[in-house]
Amino acid sequence: MTPDGGPRRPDVTTVEVVGGREPFTLSLRDHDERWAQDYREHRRRILAALAGLDVQVEHIGSTSVPGLAAKPVVDVVVAVPDVTAEEDYLDALLAAGYVLRVREPAHRLVRTPARDAHVHVYGRGDPAVDAYLLLRDHLRRDAADRALYEDVKRDLLTRRWDTMDAYSDAKSDVIAAITARAAARAGRGGRGPREPRRG
């Protein structure tokens, strides 16, 4: 970040999926309490890797919502001072055992080699981070929306998906509707987190 608070350099303008398309198997599992433990381990690992850098680390996605069925992939969001300054965080995350999967405007994705954890990196203040947390917190509190979201995911599971992104995109309408209700309840506007590329 520059002294005036701006990004250190222009961000990327295209989507780079490192390693290209991969085969994937889509499955939902009933909520597993171990997902919270897995998140805490990733949080510890990330904070150790980024020691000295002012970051926010949060558990997001369906594995962060007790009672919600989910793909067995723990999603973590990390807000760094400047997402364009990859030299401040990327090598450290790679050294901590993550691999770079996606580089796109305003977002980087690293994951475990086992593909059981996705770490989404955004710049501090990116509205996507607040949207993820708004959705997570709402689903933790609202049983009806939690059930609706799970029903939609289970319905989507009956279809064939060529990519994880296609499956994620198919959830966009329900996520936007739930997030709008969450924002209205919280007294603020919001469409919901944009679905980043997952590879």
Question: Which tokens belong to 165?
Answer: 């992104």
Q: Which tops the pLDDT comparison, 53 or 9?
A: 53
| The predicted structure's pLDDT at residue 25 | 79
| The predicted structure's pLDDT at residue 165 | 83
**Is 176's pLDDT higher than 70?**
yes
| The predicted structure's pLDDT at residue 189 | 59
| The predicted structure's pLDDT at residue 191 | 52
- The secondary element (H helix, E strand) that includes residue 81 is none
Phi-psi region of 20 (alpha: psi -120 to 50; beta: other; left: phi over 0): left
Tell me whether strands 117-123 and 74-80 are parallel, antiparallel or unpaired: parallel
CATH 3.30.460.10 for domain 16-186, yes or no, is yes
| pLDDT tier at 56, thresholds 50, 70, 90 | very high
Mean pLDDT of 97-126: 97
| The predicted structure's pLDDT at residue 24 | 75
Sheet strands side by side (includes 56-60): 16-17, 99-104, 107-111, 117-123, 74-80, 56-60
Beta bridge partners, 104, equal 107
What are the residue ranges spanned by the domains of the chain? 16-186
Question: Which tokens belong to 29?
Answer: 């599992």
